[in-house]
Amino acid sequence: MSDRPLLIVILAAGKGTRMKSALPKVLHKVAGRSMLAHVMALSADLGAARIAVVVGPEMANVRAEVHALAPDAAIYEQTEQRGTGDAVLAAREAIAGHSGDVLVLYADTPLTRAASLIAMRRSLDVAEGVCVLGFDAADPTGYGRLLTSADGSLLAIREHKDASPDELDVTLCNSGVMGFRVADLAGLLDRIGNDNAKGEYYLTDAVEIARGAGLRASVVTCGEDEVLGVNSRDQLAVAEAIWQRRARARAMAEGVTMVAPETVFLSYDTTFGRDVVLEPNVFFGPGVAIADDVLIRANCYLEGHDQKSRAGLTIGKGTSIGPFARLRPGTTLGEDVHVGNFVEVKNASLEDGAKANHLTYVGDARVGAGANIGAGTIFCNYDGYNKNRCDVGAGVFIGSNSALVAPVSIGDGAYVAAGSTITRDVAAGALGIERAEQTEKPEWAANYRFRMEKPKGG
């Protein structure tokens, strides 16, 4: 493929009224990140020298997303919705100042693969001109048709509303993704008119204009799923399902066992080591990294990033999670750690060999190597205003139904007696115990039952 520099223009100005949302369409998420972020990540993977994003008016949150993802990206505004040709020309400054290839992508099409776009650039290596990414549609209704010659070169793109009956029989359709290797692309796009059923400036008209100027036009094809455009909530769900299916297949090919793959949901950045086993109904939010030989039992929820924190979540080799466990941002589990049923861990580290097997909350804490946290233990980390930390040393044994009121430290090898509420530090090797003295009232139970069961009025 040519070493010519690449400019990618991402069209993100659509209002997405069919989404019925206050959030711009392109910020709706697939696999834990916005559709716009998927397309911008793809642009970075392709080695784009420059990225230009075209937004609509009053899209401050889209602008903010672009700056967060790629601070050097240029942002341009399409003030009126006058078609794709007009949208691309909103980035005229970037186009006119670029010498190399140009790809036009769509921020509501998050499933496009890098391989297809690389193939488009290779097609442009044959001769200067235009390349279109096409697909064979199961139902071509509504799509622009790709009209080709006997040798397979592209003659024109005809929008559905402007197509003749014969052209409507064509199933090779336009995805909207286009590539250009044209000396004066802005000048070529300026020649696009709006003499069509919608009165809009179609980027697709660039094909016939380029051919009229003696340039070549070609088609690269891909699967229909790859160029799914998302315009509604149901299409967003379809895109999510496609992405998840791909990600599961990739994970299993790389050494992950999924007992029921269709019930496992991954994030865009989930990473696995080898010989990981996932039981049914496991959900991964963003920011989770898992080492080799980890077992995650059924019905667990793991996330390293949420609205408040991007602290991440890492799970060490040989660790066992669940069933019914929740791991939250800032969690670090060492090797051979056990986190069992109905255990929640947040912003805490459990070092090698530590165990919290039942009905426990561990928050804002360090749990040392080999420590055992008994059932029903609560790390009381929040006083209503501030978060405070607990430090539990190596080899500590915390008895069941204990409460550790932060800030507090339990020294190496110490014991905390079951049912204790610990508010002061416990020295290494000591027993910490805090209980009211047990008393006993003889015959109380029998007398109580007698009073309660005595017939009324007797």
Shared domain check, 219 and 128: yes
Shared domain check, 280 and 149: no
Average pLDDT over residues 193-212: 90
Whole-model pTM?
0.92
**DSSP category for residue 144:** P
> Is 438 inside a domain boundary?
no
Residue whose C-alpha is closest to residue 19's, from 236, 224, 182: 236
Q: CATH number for the domain including 404? A: 2.160.10.10
* Residue 103 pLDDT grade (very low, low, confident, very high; cuts 50, 70, 90): very high
Q: CATH number for the domain including 110? A: 3.90.550.10
Shared domain check, 277 and 408: yes
pLDDT of residue 438: 85
User: For strand 129-136 and strand 216-221, is the pairing parallel, antiparallel, or unpaired?
Assistant: parallel
Split into its structural domains, the chain has a count of 2
Catalytic annotation, residues: 358
Q: Is the pLDDT of residue 192 over 60?
A: yes
Q: Can you give the length of the chain in residues?
A: 458
Shared domain check, 239 and 200: no
Query: 376, exposed or middle or buried, with CB in 10 Å at 0-12, 13-18, 19+?
Result: middle
**Do residues 39 and 110 touch, judged by C-beta distance below 8 A?**
yes
Average pLDDT over residues 96-120: 97
The Cα 397–Cα 361 span in angstroms is: 16
Shared domain check, 251 and 329: yes
User: For strand 403-405 and strand 421-422, is the pairing parallel, antiparallel, or unpaired?
Assistant: parallel
* Residue 429 pLDDT grade (very low, low, confident, very high; cuts 50, 70, 90): very high
pLDDT of residue 458: 55
Q: Which domain holds residue 210?
A: 6-227
Shared domain check, 239 and 212: no
Domain-ending residue, one of 208, 227, 246: 227
* Residue 436 pLDDT grade (very low, low, confident, very high; cuts 50, 70, 90): confident
The Cα 150–Cα 433 span in angstroms is: 88
Q: Is the pLDDT of residue 135 over 80?
A: yes
Residue whose C-alpha is closest to residue 250's, from 225, 230, 268, 229: 268
> Is 196 inside a domain boundary?
yes
* Residue 457 pLDDT grade (very low, low, confident, very high; cuts 50, 70, 90): low
Domain-ending residue, one of 227, 262, 277: 227
Alpha helices in 165-232 (DSSP H): 165-168, 185-190, 206-212
Q: Is the pLDDT of residue 456 over 80?
A: no
The per-residue pLDDT for range 26-72, each reduced to its tens digit, is: 999 999 999 999 999 999 999 999 999 999 999 999 999 999 999 99
Average pLDDT over residues 251-269: 98
pLDDT of residue 127: 83
Phi, psi of 319 (to 5 degrees): -80, 150
Q: Is the pLDDT of residue 1 over 60?
A: no
> Is 303 inside a domain boundary?
yes
Q: Is the pLDDT of residue 307 over 90?
A: no
